[in-house]
A and B are shown apart, each in its own frame.
Chain A
Amino acid sequence: MSAVTHTDRAVVRASHKSHPVVRWLRRNVPYVILVSYCVVVLVPIVWVMLASVKTRREVFLSPLGLPDSIQWQNYFNIFESGFQHYIWNSLVVTIGSVVPMVIVSIMAAYALARRVFIGRKTIYLLIVLTYAIPIHSILIPLYRIVDDFGMLNTYAGLILPHIAIGIPFSVVILYSFFLDFPEELEEAARLDGCSPWRILFSVVLPLSAPAVLSVVIFQTVSVWNEFLWASIATSGEERRLWTNGIMQFQGEYSSDWPKILAVVNLMMVPLLVIYVLAQKHFVRAFAGMGK
């Protein structure tokens, strides 16, 4: 019965074939919309890249034109002003935060997902509750605590809070991965006499690369791009990060756009290149919130 209706409708539809213009629109409007938006995304990025090798005059007079001659000088100027110092600090803080954060999160998530011990539910609940709290919601006491520990203007003062604030997200993602991990594999290893450590490091971890990579990518981008805590926890130049440095530059050389944009470009391009090369993993890392 319904099969007949389907065929009937298809026939009716085929006999009233839409106008060629309508069909052309239907096929091309999606492209027009998406491509226009891609242009909106790309223009500022390309503008930064071009402006970073232009003279000041060119940036203002022909924003999207090519430079007459490439001004590498803009990049040399950054390093003459000592920007490499900020980059170094950012590297130390990012690596120093992400590596331990991921290790302690793997350990905690595995135990919470797979082991039975007192307080397990309470700990997981606390972690879920703080999953999305922004740094400014605990900023004032956190500042005082870090000050009491004498850790203002130190790497530790930057790194330890970053690790802590990254733990809830990492644990939640890894926890849900470990819950779905085939228990039979661990069981087999256990019957073979493996210690729980061996099971984690030789059986579970090698098969957890996608989840771990997602967490590493997400947290590396977050910590590398972080600004608020970095500006509160440091006062002198000594331990400031690149996000502070760029704000400093914007204040000091406010009219020297090429110099500021050379900094933006220098910090933006490596991340964009890594993203394009590993975009499958980036998309999974960010959409992983949706999993």
Chain B
Amino acid sequence: MELESIYQNVIDGNAPAVQAGVQAALASGASADTLLQDTLIRAMQEVGRRYEIGDLYVPEMLIAARAMQAGLNVLKPLLVAGGVQAAGRVAIGTVHGDLHDIGKNLVGMMLEGAGIEVKDLGNDVPPEKFVQAAQDGAQIIAMSALLTTTMASMKKTIDALEKAGVRNKVKVIIGGAPVTSAYAKQIGADGYAPDASSASRLVKELIGA
């Protein structure tokens, strides 16, 4: 019952209720891992599904993600102490020259909501910073571009990964309004996702989680 109300509160975007619910569930003996899987991750999957079919709008997804985050913040120290590994490590950013971050943020939130460790490099991210993230152990480099004029930075970043000798250590995925799967192939990316839910599925597929 308790778990069900946490799940619903994530979907409704009620952050204080999620935080309190998670704390109460822990106090009554639920495990952090169970709470993560059965409430937060499951709720964000549902949020992603409804967004994908046009049932939820961007602000609703943002407040759901914020509520998920409130629960995750309570669980994180316990998950770390308990040795629970993240399902994967992704470094995400909007490419050099581009300041649009909503799509990138939505993808980051969905990934976190899927139990993946996300390093947010922000927007206007130069290729060197993506290279650094790859050297620091990211398994996936996720790039976003919202403008036809900044897409070329994706290719430049892949070239920079090659040059630094880390291209084969990471998978590269891309997305954003002007981006297509054909473009992903053309610049040698490993995948393309049209929206945040698909991005989360794509990441899991690529890292075999």
Q: Do A and B bind each other?
A: no
